[in-house]
Structure 1
Amino acid sequence: MPSAPPVPATDWLPADSETESLSLPDGRRLAYTTYGAADGDPVLFCHGTPGSHVIARLLAAPARERSVSLIAPDRPGIGNSEDAPATLDDWPDDAAHLLSHLGVDAAGAVGFSGGGPFALACHRLPEIRRIALLGGSGPPAIGATGRVQQFVGALSRHAPWALGRLFRLQRWFAVRRDPSYAVGFVAEETPETDALTADEVARVVRADMLTAMARGPSAIIREQRLLSQPWPFALEDVSVPVTVFQGRADANVAPSTGRTLVRRLPEASLELVDSDHLGTLTAAGEDALAAARRRTRV
């Protein structure tokens, strides 16, 4: 497989968000970065869709405080990760190679938004001991995504060319407008954290959007299509404890999604958060890291 050139660094990418990479058995390059404590308990972070490793930057400070090594890869076709016709069921194999590359034999997983299904898919890996979801998407049978997500899912299946044009237009505007433009897709207002101001959070969110589409929209369209179709595993088969953090005011993933996930997962608990979609990540991120890292060491 020919090697695609890496995406060049830009002034909108946070300096501590540059990636390393490993070569997968099929020759692809998988890009990743780590945040938090270098020698801490490992937690795999699954970014949203559209999204990239950059959004994990919002959890860097709590990861350090919790002694967590937050491993944030870009899925195929995102950022510096080379593309492949990957399915939801393929992701655990890539994740397993990354954990092996880093010498990790026990870890937790955190999935944000559209990364929730990818985190849940990793339940079959013996390395993954616990999972936490932050505003995580549910399978289409739940039918509780927002109207925008339903529209995007339908376009991904029936008119991917139109969705590609829409994503390219969004990226064009994101490059040229204030960072708050990108925040508008995931939050009613820009949250602050203990370590980052609202302006800094907005810059991370914009960088996340731009990195997600740095290679074009094809990977995002593929993921949107995958998440709008039946998943290749049943929620009832998820074999590890799951903590679901669900925003009460989430307009991207309806609160009923969290409740339904908890009812159908064999061992799960629900934590309601008084916030919207992005606010669930910033407000409950530290608790999600704590939930994911419990009893990961052997």
Structure 2
Amino acid sequence: MGSAPPIPATDWLPNDSETESLSLPDGRRLAYATYGDADGYPVLFCHGTPGSHVAARLLAAPARERGINLIAPDRPGIGNSEDAAVTFEDWPDDAANLLSHLDVDTAGAIGFSGGGPFALTCHRLPEIQRVALLGSSGPPSVGATGRVQQFVGALSRHAPWALGRLFRLQRWFALRRDPSYAVGFVAEETPETDALTADEVARVVRADMLTSMARGPSGIIREQRLLSQPWPFALEDISVPVTVFQGQNDANVAPATGTALAQQLPDASLERVDSDHLGTLTAAGDDALAAAQRRTRV
């Protein structure tokens, strides 16, 4: 299986060509893409909320350089993955089926933003050796979120129909505006990477937003509700080493959240990043790949 093609020079919208899929035991389709080195060390990428497999494109170049096969599934209701009432506790079963499908017996995991708790729940899989968190959400008891995130969380619990309309309107604007419109939800300014210009990063972020709602907003609404409620697992029970990367200028996830996560996880270290939310992914993504690649679990 090869990795996804490079980012085209022109703007693009989500399509089916870069993803593959597998049929889960209950008959659902789970879509995924791979980036980096197809023969490299496997690392499971858990996208944000809203988000999709497309965000992993931002780490494709460093993954290739490090010899990492970055496996990026779309969670239920996202992209080409069929919807289902999957919770934090259910997600490891989907992840295990994907790893088995790809003949993976040892892997790391990365969770960005709202994907953080989904990466952490995979600690119970014997394949997962380490976890790296990039600007990860925390449970309500641990960390504060920005006002927008608090508002979205409240709508997901009390008026999901209104949140659905809001997300549809957001997608409508994203389809018609410059890619910088999408960047404004996750960054103060568009970052660059060693491999991508600011314009290319903006196109990836725009496509990520559009792909996240390709099947409608139901998957995102469900995940926003999960994130805004007490998590059904204790941080103290996470059994693998975790590296927490936290942007110090993050307006989406408060810097105190990263500090609290690192303090409460049994085996964790904190890496402070001089950046905002999206900038944490682009600036610290290479270090997160390195952290997820270490093989120390017995």
Q: Give 1:80's aligned amino acid.
A: N
3-state SS of 1:88 partner: coil
Q: Is 1:295 equivalent to 2:272 in the alignment?
A: no
Residues 188-227 of structure 1, C-alpha deviation per residue, up to 9 Å, x if partnerless? Answer: 0000001110000000000000000011111100000011
Percent identical among aligned pairs is 87
Match of 2:203 in 1: 203
* Mapping of residues 159-198 of structure 1, within 5 Å: 159-198=159-198
Match of 1:5 in 2: none
Structure 2 vs 1, CA of residues 265 and 75 (structure 1 numbering), >3 Å: closer, same or farther? Answer: same
Deviation at 1:18, TM superposition (A): 1.2
Deviation at 1:297, TM superposition (A): 9.2
Match of 2:20 in 1: 20
Whether the 8 Å contact between 1:108 and 1:296 is mirrored in structure 2 is no
Match of 2:158 in 1: 158
3-state SS of 1:30 partner: strand
3-state SS of 2:141 partner: helix
3-state SS of 1:140 partner: coil
* Mapping of residues 20-99 of structure 1, within 5 Å: 20-99=20-99
TM-score normalised by the chain length of structure 1: 0.94
**Gaps spanning 5+ residues in structure 2: where?**
1-10
Deviation at 1:14, TM superposition (A): 7.0
3-state SS of 2:130 partner: strand
Match of 1:282 in 2: 282
Match of 1:112 in 2: 112
Match of 1:257 in 2: 257
Residues 225-275 of structure 1, C-alpha deviation per residue, up to 9 Å, x if partnerless? Answer: 011111111000000000000000000000000000011000000000000
Cα RMSD after superposing both structures: 1.6
Distance in 2 of aligned mates of 1:47 and 1:224? 13
Match of 1:6 in 2: none
Q: Give 1:53's aligned amino acid.
A: H
Q: Give 1:116's aligned amino acid.
A: G
Whether the 8 Å contact between 2:48 and 2:115 is mirrored in structure 1 is yes
Structure 2 vs 1, CA of residues 77 and 14 (structure 1 numbering), >3 Å: closer, same or farther? Answer: closer
Distance in 2 of aligned mates of 1:187 and 1:170? 16
Match of 2:140 in 1: 140
Deviation at 1:185, TM superposition (A): 0.1
Which stretch of the first structure deviates more once superposed, 33-42 or 16-25?
16-25
Q: Give 1:144's aligned amino acid.
A: A
Distance in 2 of aligned mates of 1:94 and 1:268? 25
Residues 12-56 of structure 1, C-alpha deviation per residue, up to 9 Å, x if partnerless? Answer: 237897100000000000000100001110000000000000000
Q: Give 1:258's aligned amino acid.
A: G
Whether the 8 Å contact between 1:167 and 1:217 is mirrored in structure 2 is yes
Whether the 8 Å contact between 1:17 and 1:54 is mirrored in structure 2 is no
Distance in 2 of aligned mates of 1:297 and 1:239? 9
Match of 2:3 in 1: none
Q: Give 2:163's aligned amino acid.
A: L
Whether the 8 Å contact between 1:106 and 1:297 is mirrored in structure 2 is no
What is the aligned length? 289
Deviation at 1:88, TM superposition (A): 1.0
**Gaps spanning 5+ residues in structure 1: where?**
1-10
Whether the 8 Å contact between 2:14 and 2:211 is mirrored in structure 1 is no
Residues 88-146 of structure 1, C-alpha deviation per residue, up to 9 Å, x if partnerless? Answer: 11100000000000000110000000000100011111110100000000001124111
TM-score normalised by the chain length of structure 2: 0.94
